[in-house]
Amino acid sequence: MHDIDDLERRGIPSVFVASEPFRSAAVTQTEALGLDVARVFVEHPIQDRTDDEIRNIADQAFDALVAELTGPAS
Which has the closest alpha carbon to 46: 35, 62, 30, 57?
Answer: 57
- pTM, rounded to two decimals: 0.86
Q: Per-residue pLDDT tens for 2-59?
A: 999 999 999 999 999 999 999 999 999 999 999 989 999 999 999 999 999 999 999 9
Long-range contacts of 33-37 (CB under 8 A, 24+ apart): 33/1, 33/2, 35/1, 35/2, 35/4, 35/5, 36/74, 37/1, 37/4, 37/5, 37/8
Q: What is the pLDDT of residue 26?
A: 94
Structure confidence at residue 73 as a pLDDT band (50, 70, 90): low
Structure confidence at residue 71 as a pLDDT band (50, 70, 90): confident
CA angle, 61 then 52 then 67, to 5°: 10
Q: Between β-strands 16-19 and 39-42, what pairing exists: parallel, antiparallel or unpaired?
A: parallel
